A and B are shown apart, each in its own frame.
Chain A
Amino acid sequence: METQLDKVLTECLVQQDTVGALVANPQGLCLGAKGIINPNVSGIGMAISEQVAKLEPENNAPATICLYSGNKRCIIQKDGEITGIIYKHATESSNN
């Protein structure tokens, strides 16, 4: 049923520094999440990407948003129907 999506999420997690990945549907509801990420952030992630999209209403290319906190960073993108959220560790290089 959702094995393909599960595979995509697992593949994403094996990449460097990645700790969690999530996909949300157009209603902001979580379709799938793997790793250390709360499925409840799907709605807020989508709301953030919608707000960012308002900055440049003319531009149709999906914006990528990076949020930084003490030891992690969060990358969000909404492309058409789906929104992806990835949590990553702050790497050594990114701390400098």
Chain B
Amino acid sequence: MEYVRSIWDCLVSICSCLHCTEDISRTAQTETERTHLLANDQQNQSPALRRTNSDLNNDCSQSLPKKDDQDALSRLVQDTAINMINVGAMDSHHLEHQEYTDKIKLYTQRLHQQWNNIQHPGNVPKGLLKDMPNHQFYVYKPVYSEDTSQMKKFIGKCHIGVTDIKIEHKEAVAVVVPFRIP
């Protein structure tokens, strides 16, 4: 029974994740920045997930000896964990002070090294109209009265338009993932 329930839990989470419009290639692309949440250890997972995971493993060893199925299942669990919004993982990753200062030193050193071999971007001519071949042409441009009057009317109407902006209550968009934290 416990096994069926854990599978059911997985399916529910997967279904709620089906609203994700991201395709598989995107998931694979962003995997590197997400997988670290799992890679650390099981501590990062929410208790609910941890339980599901271990339950699954135990049950699998008895009732599902096939390795393929087991792999598929663990992949399912992992995918679900990656796609689940895990508030429990929010404050899990902190650097040690020593590591922090070491990294600062390393980065400063590398930046110094690199900056000598790099073509500096953004060396554009500085100053007003310096990048203009024919600036005389623009200096004598008049300001057209139709432009100012058009802008005046536009702004006037916008003021009314902006006050008209209201939130229209519609049915909740189904992006809410149920939190199953006991």
Contact = CB atoms under 8 A, between A and B. Distances in A.
B155 A84 contact: yes
Interface in A52-96: 62, 64, 66, 68, 73, 75, 77, 79-82, 84, 86, 88, 94
B162 A1 contact: no
Interface in A1-55: 1-8, 11-12, 15-16, 18, 21, 23, 25, 31
B94 interface: no
A62 B143 CA distance: 15
B174 interface: no
B159 A88 contact: no
Contacts, number: 77
**Contact-residue bracket for chain B:** 20 to 34
A12 B165 contact: no
Nearest to B161: A5
Interface of A: 1-8, 11-12, 15-16, 18, 21, 23, 25, 31, 62, 64, 66, 68, 73, 75, 77, 79-82, 84, 86, 88, 94
